[in-house]
Structure 1
Amino acid sequence: MGKKPSVYVINPAFQSEKGRLFAGTSGVLKTSASKQAWAQLVNPEDSKVNLYVSFFALTNFSIKLVKADFVVNAIPPGTPIESSEVSVLKLGSDVQPVGRIYYHPSVSGAFTGGKIVGTRAMTPLTTIPGFRVDGRLIIEPGTNAMFFVYSESYAESQIEFEWFESDHL
């Protein structure tokens, strides 16, 4: 008997085939010297799945530099808005994500708690991958990952999240 051929399939493609890969964006985030903004991927407390983050992308629509702190398990300021711009990436599927994207487009104040694990500088008029983590960042029930965005002058930006979800725990 000969050796059977094997095919390497990247995990996001495998998860997409199963209808468990999701992507979404925040609304437009508007920052200035006195206003910050944030976007957060949240796994609800009563969830029975883990969220495995594939990647983040950060887009700066402005001609000014924008910075973003990547923070885990923080409580952001202001009243969260739930993004409606979220979809399963298996386009024929009607599966709805457990994970939620929340954001606040322009707020005064800082987040509380949490831990900054990285900072990104978004150069003008670009989209940059924030962190390519390929499922190594696991957002368990009741936890979250957030980008806290700020700038020295008026700027507009947006955050994209992609993640897959485990079978029920």
Structure 2
Amino acid sequence: MDIKPTVDVINPAFQSTKGRLFAGTSGVLKTSATKNAWAQLVNPLHSNVNLYVSFFALSNFSTKLVKAEFVVNAEPPGKAIVSPDVSVLKLASKHKPVGQILFNPHVSGSYSGGRLIGTRALGPQRSELGFRVDGRLIIEPGTNAMFFISSSTSAEAQIEFEWFENNAIF
């Protein structure tokens, strides 16, 4: 009996071949003892797609500890800025993401509503994978996932998201 070789392809790689895998980053988030910052991946209410998060990463560019709260469906303080730093990962693809990375680099106050999922302490001058979720975190139309950043001193951080989009809404 001939055994044929098989190849396992992880789903994000498969989605990339279809031009449905996107990645992007917030601007630099600047905190202090009195100011916070945030970045979120948002799926617009009438998008007719689901966003399946592959992973997210947190970077701390400062020499001090930064606290990152992972919150879903919260309303952040301040005015949202749309990140221009988002791209499809199949480089010749013409697909544009539906999902948006919104952020505010320097705000007073805290978020309202939502649900706290977890908190990370991000060490000085480090980048860490938040957690690899491989599509298990699903951001449905009208929902969001956010990192709310704070520090007891001046610090700079940045958040990166990778996700794929599919119009099959489950």
Q: Same fold (TM over 0.5)?
A: yes
Tell me what 2:58 maps to.
Answer: 58
Residue pairs, 1:101-140, within 5 angstroms: 101-140=101-140
Structure 1 CA distance, aligned partners of 2:139 and 2:3?
39
Code of the aligned partner of 1:85: D
Tell me what 1:38 maps to.
Answer: 38
Cα displacement string for residues 20-63 of structure 1 (whole angstroms, at most 9, x for unaligned residues): 00000000000011000000000000111000000010000000
Q: Percent identity?
A: 70
For structure 2, the residue ranges without an aligned partner over 5 or more in a row are none
SS at match of 2:48: coil
Cα displacement string for residues 71-106 of structure 1 (whole angstroms, at most 9, x for unaligned residues): 000000000000000000001111100000000000
SS at match of 1:131: strand
2:169 equivalent to 1:165: no
Tell me what 2:79 maps to.
Answer: 79
Q: Which runs of 4+ in 1 moved over 6 A?
A: none
Structure 1 CA distance, aligned partners of 2:166 and 2:2?
35
Code of the aligned partner of 2:167: D
Structure 2 CA distance, aligned partners of 1:55 and 1:34?
30
Code of the aligned partner of 1:162: E
Structure 2 CA distance, aligned partners of 1:167 and 1:102?
22
Tell me what 2:20 maps to.
Answer: 20
Q: Alignment length, in residue pairs? A: 169
Superposition TM-score, scaled by structure 2 size: 0.97
Task: Report the CA distance between 1:168 and its aligned residue.
Answer: 4.9
Code of the aligned partner of 1:120: R
Structure 2 CA distance, aligned partners of 1:168 and 1:10?
19
Compute the RMSD of aligned alpha carbons. Answer: 1.0
Code of the aligned partner of 2:75: I
Task: Report the CA distance between 1:3 and its aligned residue.
Answer: 4.1
Task: Report the CA distance between 1:167 and its aligned residue.
Answer: 3.0
SS at match of 1:146: strand
Tell me what 1:89 maps to.
Answer: 89
Code of the aligned partner of 2:77: P
